[in-house]
Amino acid sequence: MDQPIGVIDSGVGGLTVASELMRQLPKEELIYLGDTLRCPYGPRPKEEIIQYTWEMVEFLLRKNIKILVVACNTATAFTLDQLRQELPIPVIGVIQPGARSAIKMSQNMRIGVIGTEGTIQSKAYPKALQNINSSIRVNDLACPRFVPMVESGVLSGPEAYKVVYESLKPLKDKNHIDTLILGCTHYPLLRDTIQEVMGEHVQIISSGEETAREVSTIMGYQKKLYNGDRVPHHQFYTTGRVEVFRSIANIWLDQPIDILENAKLTIN
């Protein structure tokens, strides 16, 4: 089926999911929209998150997408059920895939979750984990300093280490966890620093790989995969500063990308 996959995120974090989609589905075209102008979503009221998410969705629906990937954990937590009920296309979030992956990796069923204030307050990850295995013990922690740091382009070095260490200290002190879910798609951009702070004994889980696998499975089952032969042309939109978006995207995706700025959303 020659229609693109739509990916939405509050900023650059969803590029971690886009990268996996491009790797696992090399013939498929992506249209990515990052709402960098209004990022971060985590501290915003629920009603605002829902409004902004729908504005992004409506933008991509005009591009005739065949499946929607909500690559923002906060948006997934607050809008996934509604989107699935109201949209005529499949909608995939990042929370369930991340939870399943963590359960596969954990040996002692003691799992940590870090995310934005909104995601942590929603308790979406503890619910997802304990719906699968009620004996799992979950320690979750909001890390509100991570997203602004990533969006500004600080991904490593002394400043990044200091912020990550100070943010994760309450969780690190609970040294019984053996698995840590990066419950925000921005956080894999800080993965090496997070691993250094938490220690090699902690398995770090990001949901990108598992989410892309779920997209592939659903599109195969619904016969939505593109079966021709082509080099796909991906489109990336941002509502904010193109320069920062491009610099992070080119590093994370390891290739130049076509960024089409001026995504026309309703900006309040």
**Which residues have a catalytic role annotated?**
72, 184
Three-class secondary structure of residue 180 per DSSP? strand
Is 10 within any annotated ligand binding site? yes
Instruction: State how far the Cα of 86 lies from the Cα of 161, in Å rounded to an integer.
Output: 42
The answer to whether the annotation marks 234 as part of a ligand binding site is: no
Task: Identify the CA nearest to 182 among candidates 85, 113, 90.
Answer: 113
Distance CA 196, CA 192 (A): 6
Q: Tokens 């992070």 label which residue?
A: 248
Binding residue per annotation — 233? no
- Annotated ligand binding at 74? The verdict is yes
Neighbours of 240 (CB within 10 A): 18
Residue 73, annotated as binding a ligand: yes
Please list, in sequence order, all residues whose beta carbon lies within 8 angstroms of the beta carbon of residue 46, skipping any fewer than 6 positions away.
78, 118
Backbone phi and psi for residue 56, each to the nearest 5 degrees, phi listed first: -65, -45
Longest dimension (CA), the chain: 52
Asked whether residue 206 is marked as a ligand-binding residue, the answer is no
Contact between 42 and 64 under an 8 Å Cβ cutoff? The reply is no
Annotated binding residue 42 = yes
140 is in an annotated binding site: no
Return binding residues: 9-10, 41-42, 73-74, 185-186
Q: Which positions make up the binding site for substrate?
A: 9-10, 41-42, 73-74, 185-186
